[in-house]
């Protein structure tokens, strides 16, 4: 009774300080039932939250072994790879493992018809052969800190939402300025629990990251789009890079004089094997979840937003595939683009299916009904929160059409490459400069005019069919009137006249200052871009921003109220691309009646899928030969090489490339996917269905060592049997 009274008192305010939130958070954790397979936990808070449960499942490390700022810990081996993936350092010489699909863009950029690394793979034979990747970074977290009290210290209950946001922005700016360390560092302050709590993150950023090794696409993406998000899986989804530093082991821009980075900590690798029920821990940077989404938002997503996005991407994928199958050069040009479009396309379908199967909307309604009853039973809560859900419902309904217009524009008009590229150059034209031409050269290397023209026609038609005329932009209306409603005739004219149709045409125009000055006024692709942006800026974004701000405000209060009212539920902050830990066990699942999946796959399954007539299942000859000769070395288990396994770790986008550790803190695999039935885990978690898919480290080392003979790479790692 005493604790309940304290919690009631703390939440009678419209905002919470660090101490208010912490008190409630710990209360909820300490008096709630445990689900070891759900949640993305803050490493700094493990001892207060989930450490006991992790030990019960098999963790042997101390909290300080996992996260520490006083000595080297496991967090110092985990990296944010590029802007969206995770990775892990596995040697004292800065060797880094991540997923193949995370490094795919770099492999593709180094590929050509003469050096087709996508088909053949790439293995640097010496340090001098390791390939630089301009723009690629490896980012280490140095420390995190709860700064809620500093961020919210000037917030008062009488503030408007704008005043509140301005105060928070000013506080964040002060914190970043005061904590900003040396060069090559970054300080972020991010909200948790919808803005009820704030954490600061200090990062060290390395910008010289070189490609060391990658298997052929036939291994790194074995199963391709067919098997994406699917279990059983047989994909060797890994690529290998190395972080370089200056001679003082500090971050530095690329230079031939740089040397391999010596990390504070690197992960030892275990090839001892795993069994069903073993403890697993995923350490990385999950991008986004929405544990607190309402039934109204979820219903909108699965009935309107996702189906529209899926339909538009289906058309684009079909166009790309038609050209890629007909021409090898186009296949290379569009390989990474196709993969990028396909990934979310298949995931969204899985989310729709998973939410419907789990009755996710009904689950949310049941929770909201219980929440409403709790509110109604408490006079103070009723005054504070009685109209909260009704306001959130009205907000979702008001934003729905605007959201559809914005989503459809992004999936259709913005997907037309020449329109997007023309818009990206507006700030550079005029005058012409070498940076602009260099940017253009990179763009046209992976561009097909024929593919883009077909996408133009399909996407313009789709936008016209799906979005009301009030959100059609003026250039679209004028050109369709001029061409008597024919999108095809409009496309013929645009792609014939545009100076963006080729690098040579653009270079010629930019070489003449007079023609460069006239480009913005006369170029049809720029006209489309500017007209579309004007429509969005005038008719969509202002109202959408206002409704989004209103939603954020309502959501913040809703989350605070849930933390107060629902003490039987375990709460964890939504993923926001900051370092998190999830834990679970290797365990199978049953997706449907009479179907049960085991948690492990093997090399035998790859050979069973081998089909030279299907691109996704063409097994490379080198792998076939190693399998036939049973050249497995120390990487076999029960006479066969393990390939992938699944576990009950809660993961999300951004966890691609995340290291998966056993109870001893040894690397046992790389997380790379979720099962299709569990893709809805960002919004609705189903413990019976949600599984993360992991490339077994034994298969990775088997490919590197035995199949392609890159012993140089394996030799610098600490491999434990």
The pair of three-digit structure tokens given for residue 104, joined into one six-digit string: 């795919």
Asked if the structure places residue 559 within a domain, the reply is no
Give the model confidence (pLDDT) of 155-193 as tens digits: 998 898 889 999 999 999 999 999 988 889 999 999 999
Q: Do strands 279-284 and 589-592 pair parallel, antiparallel, or not at all (unpaired)? A: unpaired
Token pair belonging to 26: 């710990």
For residue 716, give the CATH number of its domain: 2.40.10.120
Are 410 and 367 contained in the same domain? yes
Tell me whether residue 69 is in a domain: no
Number of structural domains the chain divides into: 2
Round to whole Å and give the CA distance between 195 and 172: 12
656 is catalytic: yes
| Active-site residue (options: 68, 91, 101, 342) | 101
Shared-domain flag, residues 280 and 338: no
| Residue pair 604/231 in contact by the 8 Å Cβ criterion | no
The answer to whether 237 is a known catalytic residue is yes
Residues 1-34: pLDDT tens digits?
333 322 333 333 333 333 333 333 333 333 333 3
Asked if omega into 712 is within 30° of 0 (cis), the reply is no
Domain finish residue from 554, 571, 589: 554
Catalytic, out of 146, 225, 237, 278: 237
Tell how far CA 415 is from the center of its chain: 19
Range of the domain at 596: 74-137+207-288+579-673+685-720
Q: What digits encode the pLDDT tens for the residues 331-344?
A: 989 988 998 899 89
| pLDDT for the residue 157 | 87
**What single string gives the DSSP state of each residue in 383-405?**
HHHTTHHHHHHHHHHHHHHHHHH
Q: Read off the pLDDT of residues 456-510 as tens digits, 9 standing for 90 and up.
A: 999 999 999 999 999 999 999 999 999 999 999 999 999 999 999 999 998 888 7
Asked if 456 and 532 sit in the same domain, the reply is yes
Report pTM.
0.84
Co-location of 235 and 100 in the same domain: yes
pLDDT of residue 226: 87
- Buried b or exposed e, range 49-59, using 16+ CB within 10 angstroms: bbbeebeebbb
**Number of other CB atoms surrounding residue 653 within 10 Å:** 20
Q: Place 151 in a pLDDT band, splitting at 50, 70 and 90.
A: very high
Q: Does residue 364 contact residue 295 with C-beta atoms inside 8 Å?
A: yes
Q: Is 236 helix (H, G, I), strand (E, B) or coil?
A: coil
Active site residue 9: no
- Do 360 and 262 fall within a single domain? no
Residues 583 and 625 in one domain: yes
Residues 299 and 269 in one domain: no
In terms of domains, do 255 and 116 share one? yes
Q: Are residues 500 and 423 in the same domain?
A: yes
Distance between CA atoms of residues 462 and 632, nearest Å:
52
Residue 340 lies in a domain: yes
Q: Where are the alpha helices (DSSP H) in 566-679?
A: 603-609, 621-628
One domain for residues 622 and 532: no
**What is the rounded CA–CA span in Å between residue 285 and residue 655?**
6
Tell me, yes or no, whether 650 lies in a domain.
yes
* Alpha carbons 721 and 712: distance in angstroms, whole number: 19
Same domain (yes/no): 380, 300: yes
- From 207, 531, 656, 658, active-site residue: 656
268 in the same domain as 131: yes
């Amino acid at each position: 009774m005493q604790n309940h009274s304290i919690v009631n008192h703390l939440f009678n305010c419209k905002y919470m300080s660090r101490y208010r939130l912490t008190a409630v958070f710990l209360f909820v954790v300490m008096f709630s039932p445990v689900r070891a397979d759900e949640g993305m936990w803050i490493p700094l808070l493990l001892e207060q939250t989930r450490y006991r449960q992790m030990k019960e499942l098999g963790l042997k490390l101390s909290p300080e072994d996992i996260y520490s700022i006083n000595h080297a810990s496991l967090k110092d081996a985990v990296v944010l790879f590029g802007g969206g993936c995770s990775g892990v350092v596995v040697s004292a010489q800065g060797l880094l493992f991540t997923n193949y699909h995370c490094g795919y863009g770099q492999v593709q950029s180094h590929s050509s018809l003469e050096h087709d690394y996508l088909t053949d793979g790439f293995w640097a034979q010496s340090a001098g052969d390791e390939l630089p990747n301009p723009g690629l970074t490896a980012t280490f977290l140095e420390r995190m800190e709860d700064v809620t009290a500093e961020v919210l210290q000037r917030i008062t209950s009488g503030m408007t939402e704008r005043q509140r946001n301005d105060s928070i922005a000013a506080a964040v700016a002060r914190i970043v300025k005061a904590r900003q360390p040396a060069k090559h560092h970054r300080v972020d302050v991010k909200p948790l629990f919808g803005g009820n709590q704030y954490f600061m993150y200090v990062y060290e950023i390395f910008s010289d990251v070189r490609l060391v090794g990658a298997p052929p696409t036939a291994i790194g993406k074995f199963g391709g789009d067919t098997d994406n998000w699917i279990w059983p899986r047989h994909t060797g989804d890994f690529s290998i890079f190395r972080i370089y530093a200056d001679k003082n082991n500090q971050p530095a821009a690329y230079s031939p004089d740089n040397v391999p980075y010596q990390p504070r900590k690197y992960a030892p690798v275990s090839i001892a094997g795993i069994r069903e029920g073993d403890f697993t821990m995923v350490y990385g940077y999950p991008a986004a979840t929405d544990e607190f989404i309402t039934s109204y938002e979820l219903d909108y997503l699965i009935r309107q937003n996702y189906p529209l996005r899926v339909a538009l991407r289906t058309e684009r994928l079909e166009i790309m595939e038609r050209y890629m199958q007909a021409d090898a050069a186009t296949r290379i040009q569009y390989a990474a683009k196709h993969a990028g479009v396909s990934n979310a396309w298949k995931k969204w379908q899985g989310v729709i299916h998973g939410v419907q199967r789990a009755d996710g909307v009904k689950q949310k309604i049941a929770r909201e009904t219980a929440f409403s009853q709790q509110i109604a039973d408490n006079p103070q809560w009723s005054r504070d929160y009685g109209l909260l859900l009704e306001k959130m419902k009205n907000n979702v309904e008001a934003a729905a059409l605007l959201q559809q217009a914005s989503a459809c524009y992004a999936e259709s008009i913005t997907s037309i490459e020449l329109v997007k590229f023309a818009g990206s150059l507006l700030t550079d034209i005029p005058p012409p400069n070498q940076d602009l031409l260099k940017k253009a050269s990179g763009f046209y290397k992976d561009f097909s005019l024929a593919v883009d023209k077909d996408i133009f026609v399909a996407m313009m038609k789709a936008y016209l069919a799906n979005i009301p005329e009030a959100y059609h932009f003026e250039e679209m209306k004028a050109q369709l009137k001029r061409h008597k409603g024919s999108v095809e005739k409009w496309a013929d004219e645009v792609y014939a006249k545009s100076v963006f149709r080729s690098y040579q045409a653009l270079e010629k125009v930019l070489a003449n200052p007079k023609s460069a000055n006239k480009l913005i006024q006369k170029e049809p692709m720029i006209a489309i871009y500017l007209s579309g942006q004007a429509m969005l800026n005038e008719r969509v974004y202002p109202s959408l921003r206002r409704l989004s701000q209103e939603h954020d405000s309502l959501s913040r209060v809703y989350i605070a109220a849930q933390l107060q009212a629902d003490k039987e539920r375990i709460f964890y902050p939504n993923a926001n691309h900051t370092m998190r830990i999830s834990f679970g066990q290797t365990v199978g699942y049953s997706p449907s009646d009479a179907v049960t999946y085991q948690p492990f796959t093997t090399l035998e399954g790859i050979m069973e899928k081998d089909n030279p007539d299907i691109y996704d299942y063409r097994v490379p000859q080198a792998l076939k030969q190693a399998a036939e000769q049973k050249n497995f070395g120390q990487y076999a288990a029960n006479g066969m090489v393990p390939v992938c396994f699944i576990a009950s770790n809660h993961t999300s986008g951004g966890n691609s490339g995340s290291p998966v550790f056993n109870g001893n803190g040894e690397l046992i695999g790389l997380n790379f996917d979720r099962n299709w039935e569990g893709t809805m885990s960002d919004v609705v978690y189903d413990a019976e269905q949600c599984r993360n898919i992991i490339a077994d480290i034994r298969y990775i080392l088997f490919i590197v060592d035995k199949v392609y003979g890159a012993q140089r790479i394996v030799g610098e790692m600490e491999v434990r049997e």
